[in-house]
Amino acid sequence: MKETPEHTVLLMGPPNVGKSVLFNRLTGLNVSCANYAGTTVEFTAGKTKLGKTEVSLVDVPGTYTLEATNEAEMVAVDMLSGKSMLSKSGSHCSGSSCQLAEIASSGPSAVLCVLDAGNLESSLYLLFQVLEYNLPVVAALNRLDLADEKGDIIDTSFLSRELGLPVVPTVAVEGKGFEELKSALRSVLEKGKSPSPVLRIKKQKGFLWPLAEELAQKALRRNFGDGGQVWQPGRRQKWGVLLLRTWPGLPLAFVILLLTFGMVVGLGMSLRQYILLPVFRGVIIPGIMEGVQGVVAPGFVQNMLIGEYGFLVKGLEWPFALVMPYVLSFYFALALLEDSGYLPRLGGLLDGLLNRIGLRGSGIIPLLLGYGCGIPAILATRALDSRKERLIITTMICLAVPCISQSGALIALLSERSVGLVLVIFIFSFLVMAAAGLLLDRLLKGARPPMVMEIPELLLPRVDVLGKKVLMRLKLFVMDGALPMVGAVALAALLFESGIMAYLGVVLRPLVSGWLGLPQEAAVPLVLGIMRREMAVLPLLEMDLTLLQLFVGAVVGLFYVPCIAIAATLAREFNLSIAAGMLLLTSSLAFLVGGIFFRVGSFFL
């Protein structure tokens, strides 16, 4: 193991100022950034070089104030007081960074507090609260480009003098001001804390807001160009508001969602149909077949490799030619929605409707993330301030929100007959979500607090950021998605070739054939589906199914248990009994609905 740096620097600040962008640029890591409050919900540590010394930098969830109102903010406050890493070590950090953060359990050595040039007052208030912890602090005044555009000029040297700490102007997305920031950090780490002149005078709590207002007012000069007295909102600001109004916002929301769905399905399908499938079926797989046949004699081993579930055939084709195109198209569309700042607007528009099924507008973000992968989606519910709502959304995600791998499998399965079936399945899943929400809202205890949500400025997504995001998702998919999928196919091959599958088929026949009306082999996806969500659907592709069987299979696959990784996440975020309950709920509902569909369907068809 490499030597760990002696200093730990926390990146703190209000939500959505650009802490994670700054963190990524400074450490070379790739944590997710998006244009809404509450993107980061756990801490991540990384290393950065300040001249010769290396420090570990920790990206922390954004906080409006240090009176935490949700679990994400609590992580931040715990980090600042050096508690989190001692008490709940590992439970709030992501992946490999746990190690780093745990070593830093003595507490942070300094804080890099990021201020929002567009909201100087509240940023300063938070800074005052941070200063009370008596740590060395450097402030970065970020988003200066946006303030500039509105004609705001902020006197950073005045702020720096008054606050008694370095205030460095930055534009995180362009990497501006980073060298100054680093050298300021270095000198602060060497020198230690210097007392803050303003705070010394008025330390009482009630004075912090007036003090922040006064400082902000003195530091800020507004210049509205050509002598105007009133700030004229630009085109982005005007659209930002129009998208929130019932007219034209609501019809536009419908159009935007439909376009997004169309883009994900259309782009994914054409990538698969016209590029990946021809390459795989025409070049790669025949090549592998030939190679294996030349080396391995026919029999068990050859069948494992290139037989019906041969993992060199299906194990490559499924993840790379079937699921990957949708990973690309989905995350591209999601990045557009995330970075533009449209998601919170959608939340604001739909809040009234969502209220009826026990949710608030802010819940739309984790739900949409769930169409990518359930794990980050469930983590994202930390940014909500009600446990009841967290549970409702989590249940919806486990039950009826297919992850992108499963969606890819469903699209491939159903679109061979008709694309309309895909739409039917998705609409049906919305209905089930609504029903689940209605029911849980009544059943679970606790009130739903009213919504308070900041709507970020509408921004034009940057091409380089979009590209980087999609690339990162692709990398993540290959490591965390495709490789396990190859493993699952290998397991399928083993089960199939060893005859265990046939045995399972017989055992499960009453359920699979008797109750659901599916062929006996459909026991396979039910077994594998516990491991990975898409495996509950993919094997059905290889069976000649009737229209009704297709539909029943798809419905069962959709509602069937979420993958094992989600079960682990549930146990970690909530507790074991909720994880177990969710598994029970989803599997029993899947069989119930599937069976009913089969009976009703065979009555009509």
Partner 1 sequence: MRFRKRRGNRALKSKDAVSCIPGELNLACLSEGQEAVIASVPDMPLFPPLGLRPGKKVKVCAKGCFGGPIIAEVDRRNIALGRCLAREVRLHGSGHLVSEGDLVRPSLKMQAKYPNLK
Ligand X SMILES: Nc1nc2c(ncn2[C@@H]2O[C@H](COP(=O)(O)OP(=O)(O)OP(=O)(O)O)[C@@H](O)[C@H]2O)c(=O)[nH]1
* Of 10-18, 156-164, 200-208, 592-600: span binding ligand X (CB under 6 A): 10-18
- Contact pattern for Mg ion over residues 31 through 60, marking x by CB under 5 A: --------xx--------------------
Q: Give the residue, chosen from 74, 103, 250, 491, that forms a contact with partner 1 under the rule CB under 8 A.
A: 250
Min separation Cβ 456 and partner 1, Å: 8
Interaction between residue 173 and ligand X (CB under 6 A): yes
Angle separating helix axes 547-559 and 387-400, nearest 10 degrees: 150
Give CA–CA dist 71/98, Å, rounded.
18
Could you say which of 275, 452, 471, 600 contacts partner 1 (CB under 8 A)?
452
Answer yes or no whether residue 35 interacts with ligand X by CB under 6 A: yes
| Rounded least distance, CB 25 to Mg ion, Å | 13
Question: Which stretch, 132-140, 165-173, 449-457, 593-601, contacts partner 1 (CB under 8 A)?
Answer: 449-457
Compare residues 39 and 569 and give the one whose CB is closer to Mg ion. 39
Q: Which of residues 330-359 bind ligand X (CB under 6 A)?
A: 339
User: ∠ CA(295), CA(298), CA(300), 5° rounding?
Assistant: 110
| Residue from the set 158, 209, 515, 574 that interacts with partner 1 by CB under 8 A | 209
Please classify residue 328 by burial: count the beta carbons closer than 10 Å to its beta carbon, then call 0-12 exposed, 13-18 middle and 19+ buried: buried
Q: For residue 6, which of 98, 103, 81, 79 has the smallest C-alpha distance?
A: 103
> What is the rounded CA–CA span in Å between residue 515 and residue 503?
18
Q: Across the chain, which distance is largest between two alpha carbons, in Å? A: 86
Rounded (10°) CA dihedral 136, 142, 148, 149: -160
Least separation in angstroms between CB 123 and ligand X:
11
Of residues 132-171, those binding ligand X (CB under 6 A): 142-143, 145-146, 171
DSSP secondary structure string, 380-400? HGGGSS-HHHHHHHHHHHHHH
Closest CA to 178 of 27, 374, 317: 27
By CB under 8 A, the residues from 44 to 73 that bind partner 1 are: 64-65, 67, 69
> Of 5, 10, 15, 181, which one interacts with ligand X (CB under 6 A)?
15
Q: Does 596 bind partner 1 (CB under 8 A)?
A: no
Between 145 and 214, whose beta carbon lies closer to ligand X? 145
Residue number with the smallest Cβ distance to ligand X: 62
Pairing of strands 8-12, 53-59: parallel
Residue 260 interacting with Mg ion (CB under 5 A): no
Q: What are phi and psi of 273, to 5 degrees?
A: -65, -45
| Contact partner at residue 420 from ligand X, Mg ion, partner 1, none, CB < 5 to 8 Å by partner kind | none
What gap in Å lies between CA 39 and CA 259, rounded to an integer? 24
| Closest to 366 in 3D by CA, of 345, 394, 391 | 394
Cα 584-590-596 angle, rounded to 5 deg: 130
Number of residues that bind ligand X (CB under 6 A): 26
Q: Tell me: does residue 6 bind partner 1 (CB under 8 A).
A: no
Q: Which of 5, 8, 10, 20 binds Mg ion (CB under 5 A)?
A: 20
What residue has token string 């602090």? Answer: 137
Of 150-189, binders to partner 1 (CB under 8 A) are 150
Nearer to ligand X, 62 or 347 (CB): 62
> For the CA atoms of 187, 189, 193, 194, what is the dihedral angle to 10 degrees?
0
Least separation in angstroms between CB 37 and ligand X: 5
- Under the criterion CB under 5 A, does residue 94 sit at the interface with Mg ion? no
Residues in region 383-402 near partner 1 by CB under 8 A = none
Residues in contact with 10: Cβ distance below 8 Å, sequence separation at least 6, in sequence order: 58, 60, 79, 80, 108, 110, 111, 112
Angle between helices 156-163 and 208-219 (to 10 degrees): 150
Site string for partner 1, 216-235 (x = CB under 8 A): ------------xxxxx---
Cα 480 from Cα 276, distance rounded (Å):
21
Q: Say if CB 4 and CB 100 are below 8 A apart.
A: yes
**255 part of the interface to partner 1, by CB under 8 A:** no
Smaller CB separation from partner 1, 338 or 351: 351
Residues near ligand X (CB under 6 A) are 15-21, 33-35, 37-40, 61-62, 142-143, 145-146, 171-173, 339, 459, 465
* Binding stretches for partner 1 (CB under 8 A): 14, 64-65, 67, 69, 118-119, 121-122, 125-126, 150, 209, 228-232, 237, 240-241, 244-246, 249-250, 344, 347-353, 355-356, 360-361, 450-455
